[in-house]
Amino acid sequence: MKHLLILGAMLVTACSSSTEIRSSDPESRIYVNGEYLGTGHAIYTDQKVAFSKNEVEIRKDGCEAEYYSFRRSEEADVGAIVGGLLWTVPFLWVTEYKPHHGYDFECVPSSI
């Protein structure tokens, strides 16, 4: 029973990955995959499988929006690799996001 609990804990922690997203403009709004996360900086966490792509949009009133992307393929996840050796499903999460993503936001006045 103890081994099943340990394996279960490894699977749960191996599935999620987080990254901090920062904009050079502290007043800009950060959206990931269309969801508002915060102003200036935000933490993004998900349980997507390896190599999943995320779309970042940075907005500020009166400025053109800027678009970026990042993938869940930036770092190896040792916990998922070990879990995958015991049970194949964690191999879907063998990669993680980098801890930080920084984007330079320059306000280009919108034409509207």
pLDDT in tens, 65-77: 999 998 876 555 6
Q: Domain with 85 in it: what CATH number?
A: 2.60.40
Is residue 49 in a domain? yes
Is residue 108 in a domain? no
**Domain, as residue range, for 48:** 2-103
Is residue 28 in a domain? yes
Is residue 48 in a domain? yes
Mean of all residue pLDDT scores within the chain: 79
Is residue 72 in a domain? yes
pLDDT digits (tens, 9 = 90+) for 4-33: 555 555 555 557 788 899 999 999 999 999
Is residue 87 in a domain? yes
- The secondary structure of the chain as a DSSP string is -HHHHHHHHHHHHHH-EEEEEEESSTT-EEEETTEEEEESEEEEEE-PPTT-EEEEEEE-TTB--EEEEEES-SEE-HHHHHHHHHSSGGGGG-EE--SEEEE-----B---
Residue 81's pLDDT band (boundaries 50, 70, 90)?
low
pLDDT score recorded for residue 48: 82
